[in-house]
């Protein structure tokens, strides 16, 4: 009983540490490859800069398959719709490219309006807008992570219970 308790406890804790590292790396990679570029696009002072940053973010979305589907595990909401998020970002880039194509004929007001549209699309105030759990999307990674959290948590609690039972048997 004592060996089983220690095995469950240490395995559960070690698994949670590894899972935390994997999830943290996924979030870091998403931020580095997409969210940071969306923030830079929203804060850009020129349409050319914003266009370049949106291009980087869209390239990441397309490379990693974050272009369609829903990032929610159970309740599929429009805010979790990856396709809507991707299309809005792509449309914002299209607006910028339209202004850039006009060249010198584009007025300052048109350029300012295009930058404002980008800001409204990619930012919610000062934070970047993206679907929840997008860093672990696609491929069911979010579902696997949730299931693993539960299994590892139960293993850890089970290990503590077995250790407590062994302790009580020992002192009585």
Q: What residue segments make up the domains of the chain, in order of their start?
A: 2-171
103 Ramachandran zone, left/alpha/beta (phi>0; psi -120 to 50): left
Phi, psi of 130 (to 5 degrees): -160, 160
Q: What would the pLDDT profile of 41-84 be if each residue is shown by its tens digit? A: 999 999 999 999 999 999 999 999 999 998 887 888 899 999 99
pLDDT, residue 136, reads 87
DSSP, collapsed to helix, strand or coil, labels residue 124 as strand
User: Taking a C-beta distance cutoff of 8 angstroms, is the pair 163, 6 a contact?
Assistant: yes
Q: Is a pLDDT exceeding 90 seen at residue 166?
A: no
pLDDT tens-digit readout, 9-42: 999 999 999 999 999 999 999 999 999 999 999 9
Please list, in sequence order, all residues whose beta carbon lies within 8 angstroms of the beta carbon of residue 153, skipping any fewer than 6 positions away.
Answer: 12, 16
């Amino acid at each position: 009983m004592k060996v089983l308790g220690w095995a469950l406890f240490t395995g559960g804790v070690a698994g949670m540490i590894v899972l935390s590292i994997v999830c943290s790396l996924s979030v870091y990679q998403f931020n580095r490859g997409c969210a940071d570029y969306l923030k830079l696009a929203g804060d850009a002072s020129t349409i050319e800069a914003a266009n370049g940053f949106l291009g980087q973010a869209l390239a990441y979305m397309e490379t990693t398959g974050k272009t369609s589907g829903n990032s929610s595990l159970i309740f599929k909401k429009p805010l979790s719709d990856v396709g809507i998020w991707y299309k809005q970002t792509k449309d914002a880039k299209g607006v910028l490219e339209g202004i850039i194509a006009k060249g010198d004929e584009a007025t300052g007001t048109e350029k300012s309006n295009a930058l404002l549209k980008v800001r409204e699309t990619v930012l919610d105030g000062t934070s970047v807008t993206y679907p929840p759990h997008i860093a672990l999307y696609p491929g069911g990674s979010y579902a696997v992570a949730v299931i693993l959290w539960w299994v590892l948590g139960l293993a850890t609690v089970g290990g503590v219970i077995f250790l407590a039972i062994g302790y009580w048997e020992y002192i009585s």
